[in-house]
A and B are shown apart, each in its own frame.
Chain A
Amino acid sequence: MSFIAKMLDVKEELLELYEANSDTLNLNSSEVMNGFREEAIMQFRKKGIPTRKNEDYKYTELEPVFQKDYKYRFAPKKITFAVDDIFKCDVPELDTKILILLNGWFISDEAQLQELDNGVIIGSLAEAAKQYPDLVGEHYGQHAKTSIDGLVALNTAFAQDGIFIYVPKNVVVAHDIQIINILLDDESLIVQHRNLFIMEENSEAKLVICDHTLSESEFLTNSVTEIVAKSNSRLDIVKMQNEHNKATQLSSTFISQKRSSNVSTNIISLHGGMIRNNVQVVMEEEGCENSTFGLFLVDKKQHVSNHTIVEHASPNCRSTQKFKGVLDDQGTGAFNGRILVHPDAQKTEAFQSNNNILLTDEATMNTKPMLEIYADDVKCSHGATVGQLDEDALFYLRTRGIGQREARLMLMFAFAYEIIGEIKVIPLRDRVNDLVEKRLCGELSRCNNCAMHCG
């Protein structure tokens, strides 16, 4: 059977799965989330799972991963153990408020949704949608439009739980918030969680998101995260992706920025069978600043694809995108970045760069840095390189008595540090630094537990 026919089967199966379980879905969820399902499944019926014919997925082949046999769970699995027993984040001095998602379901010994003293609300999205329907309803599904991507439509149709974070006006969150996505099951599983983060005016927070697989089964994660940053708010996100080779992670993040807000995202892809990160930023009002950084290290047959769209919809905004990759063995990587400057978004400054190092002839890198500009008073640039380490630099180090291997590692590490240096959570930066160094030395080929756990 051809790929396309098979993909149609997969699509039909998912549609059937939805039909068969839509009552369960609607019964267990709040109205806010249910309100989007019908439209979403209709869009999914229309769009299906993106194939390589779709320009945005030209370099990412989703067919093989969707064709595996997965189980779908419509209710959280009862766990009989304390999460602390199986998982402990041990980054030294990382003092965070930890939220845990197990296979996409929020689990906690305490309440499903907590309101902290400073008014910050954190916890389960399913619970938040019940307790604060207005707050969730105002933003849910407003930024991740089901009409743009089949994966978003699929997630919106099935989404039941995820993380909800609300930071009220003028609050600076002192403790960094850490979200840990744990995948643990005896069977292969599809997980589709949904996150919503709302930053009110003048608020500030730092977020660490870690992805881990704790069992050998195959996982397919298709997550959607919506982030709203209101005026003068500031949000720094670090995403650590560290899953095993049989895991697929498709993660779509939609960021909406209001006047003078500042959002930075830093995606560190340490490990994973297939990773696809979609990041879409819309700077809706003047004076916004956005940074989107990424570092990926692939080996074996892994694939990492970063796809970004930074939309300058208003004047006087500034954006920086920087993605770097080191590709080993038969690893493949892709970067597809787009800067879109709307008409009249004058005084825009938008920069984008993508640098890659290929270590073997079997490794492949595809990159597509795009500019789409409809305003004239702008400063935009993009650059992309694919190559290897600088021979001159290597020679320089060797003339100073540094061995070939050491010199290569030093240069590779320096290459990666440009991204690591941007991590705003200091203890984490040091840890990632350490991990990347080990990874490049070949000492840490795969880390089964938390990125912070292995050492």
Chain B
Amino acid sequence: MEKEQDTILQEVTENDYKYGFTSDIESDSIPKGLNEDVVRLISAKKNEPEWLLEYRLKAFAYWKGLKAAPQWAHLKLPEINYQDIIYYSAPKQRAKLNSLDEVDPELLATFNKLGIPLDEQKIMSGVAVDAVMDSVSVKTTYKKTLAELGIIFCSFSEAVQDYPDLVKKFLGTVVPYRDNYFAALNSAVFSDGSFCYIPKGVRCPMELSTYFRINAANTGQFERTLIVADDASYVSYLEGCTAPQRDENQLHAAIVEIIALENAQVKYSTVQNWYPGDKNGKGGIYNFVTKRGICKGRNSKISWTQVETGSAITWKYPSCILRGDNSVAEFYSVAVTNNFQQADTGTKMIHIGKNSKSTIISKGISAGKSQNSYRGLVRVTKNAANARNFSQCDSLLLGDKCGAHTFPYIEVDNKSAIVEHEATTSKIGEDQIFYCNQRGIATEDAIGLIVNGYAKEVLNQLPMEFAVEAQKLLQISLEGSVG
């Protein structure tokens, strides 16, 4: 029995990265390195207005003043040489594209391998895609349908050109450039990303989705996403990523900002499956993301759902500031680590408004020699009367060489607040596997079954298309990893 499990374990852990391929696309890159000129060059290449350049320069000056990346996370951070990174790389611009035929066939092939719904048949599935291939948006579908409703969904650089007032009004209001080391870096050199604005009273009829894909060797990705949901609007936003296999470590420092005004609702879902490095811990993406939303208006709601299976290092804390009265925030997370992956992820819920409510459900799964930490903060400020939080952070350990850690911070300044936190750590019960075996379910399938059941609470929160992909990812990363 044990031997069989060992074999399965070996098979799974030795599985090659399914999405590891590189497409050969001519890239318009600038030389490696980072200095003020590079920041100016990026801004100039994107034909940005003066205020944005100033914002970048301010952020760069601040970043330069910071000594080093924060060390508080439960991660072994390698030394990152910021001068050894190309800060701008765009697939070569051709003339404006009118139909799919004009898109670089290599690029289309890449998307097809990933199953990204870009072509006609995908209209049936109702997904509008803003495909980000290395930093610059290549194609945006469904723009027309959305435009009729007044919804703006475009690449960040387009938004800067077309809707400068909106961008200027909201950029950096949730994640200021002084927020942290990586936020400052991103604010200085962000290449592109998505911008989304839902006007008053509009319910976005489809899931908006961005597929990120890291391409071109040695390219750091610095995406920036800004979502603004005006009064009484609703939007569900999907972000998903797969990256080709690389030997050199790649840096990814994105920022996502969400603003929900009165009665607005935003649902943000992520499936992250970047290259996690090989089974010896070589290579892999470093993922340092700052994601934060603000429930600005009364009765607003922001919900984060994430399935994290990739990246060599994940440093990510999607947070919510519950400023409006009666606002609601949710955080659902499944984080899977295998081999030498390290994840330090969690959330922050800052209760400011009265009657604000937040829920945190975090499921960590660690296998191999990986380290998986939940780190979260729940703060109830003095005026947040009747604030309510419930947190549950469970960890599942597969294998005796991995680690699972929980670091919750709870700070309460109001007597009417009710804050609860609970966490458990355990491994898959042998009796559970035995039970399945008895009923003719192979060990590998049994583990898949149990893990999926364990993560169900979170997977249920995902939109349909994502739920399927997420389940597959869980199976790929974990099946059979119990020894």
Interface residues of A (CB under 8 A from B): 55, 343-344, 346, 356, 358-361, 363-388
Contact = CB atoms under 8 A, between A and B. Distances in A.
Contact of B417 (A343, A344, A384, A387): A387
B411 A366 contact: yes
Contact of A369 (B403, B404, B418, B421): B421
Interface string B37-73: 0000000000000000000000000000000000010
Contacts of A361: 382, 413-416
B123 to A, nearest CB: 47
B162 to A, nearest CB: 45
Nearest to B409: A368
Contacts of A364: 411-413
A375 B399 CA distance: 8
Contacts of B405: 370-373
B102 interface: no
Contact of A370 (B402, B407, B417): B407
B468 interface: no
Contact of A373 (B404, B418, B422): B404
6 contacts: A55-B72, A368-B410, A369-B406, A373-B397, A384-B420, A386-B410
A369 B391 CA distance: 12
Given A377-B427, A385-B420, A371 B404 contact: yes
Given A361-B415, A373-B403, 14 more contacts: A344-B400, A358-B414, A361-B414, A364-B412, A365-B410, A367-B409, A368-B408, A371-B404, A374-B402, A374-B403, A378-B397, A381-B422, A384-B419, A386-B417
Contact of A367 (B404, B410, B415): B410
A151 B63 CA distance: 35
A386 B420 CA distance: 7
Interface of B: 72, 74, 380, 382, 395, 397-427
Nearest to B422: A383
B411 A372 contact: no
A88 to B, nearest CB: 39
Contacts of B400: 343-344, 346, 375-377
Closest 4 A-B residue pairs measured CB to CB? A376-B397, A387-B418, A358-B415, A383-B422
B221 to A, nearest CB: 31
Contact of A382 (B72, B74, B402, B422): B422
A379 B421 contact: no
B418 A388 contact: yes
Nearest to A365: B412
A359 B416 CA distance: 9
Nearest to A357: B415
A388 B422 CA distance: 17
Contacts, number: 116
Contact of A376 (B74, B382, B399, B418): B399
A391 B50 CA distance: 58
B415 A359 contact: yes
A317 B314 CA distance: 32
A384 B410 contact: yes
Contacts of A363: 415
Contacts of A383: 420-423
A252 B406 CA distance: 24
A380 B401 contact: no
A381 B382 contact: no
A376 B427 CA distance: 6
A346 B401 CA distance: 11
Contacts of B420: 383-385, 387
B362 to A, nearest CB: 12
A188 to B, nearest CB: 31
A368 B419 CA distance: 12
Contacts of B402: 374, 376
Nearest to B383: A361
Q: Which of A363, A372, A376 has the most CB of B within 10 A?
A: A376
B408 A384 contact: yes
B355 to A, nearest CB: 15
A425 B89 CA distance: 72
Nearest to B420: A385
Contact of A385 (B399, B421, B425): B421
Contacts of B72: 55
A360 to B, nearest CB: 6
A374 to B, nearest CB: 4
A361 B424 CA distance: 31
Contacts of B419: 384-387
A371 B415 contact: no
A366 B410 contact: yes
A451 to B, nearest CB: 27
Given A361-B382, A371-B423, A382-B422, A366 B412 contact: yes
B69 to A, nearest CB: 17
Q: Which of B382, B395, B400, B415 has the most CB of A within 10 A?
A: B415
Given A379-B426, A386-B417, A369 B408 contact: yes
Contacts of A346: 400
B73 to A, nearest CB: 12
A19 B236 CA distance: 67
Q: Which of A360, A379, A387 has the most CB of B within 10 A?
A: A387
A368 B410 CA distance: 6
B103 to A, nearest CB: 48
Contact of B425 (A344, A366, A381): A381
B425 A373 contact: yes
A371 B417 contact: no
B380 to A, nearest CB: 8
Nearest to A385: B420
B345 to A, nearest CB: 15
Contacts of A366: 409-412
B406 A371 contact: yes
Given A373-B397, A388-B416, A382 B404 contact: no
B406 A382 contact: yes
A377 B410 CA distance: 28
Given A371-B406, A373-B397, A378 B426 contact: yes
Contacts of A358: 412, 414-415, 417
A96 B193 CA distance: 73
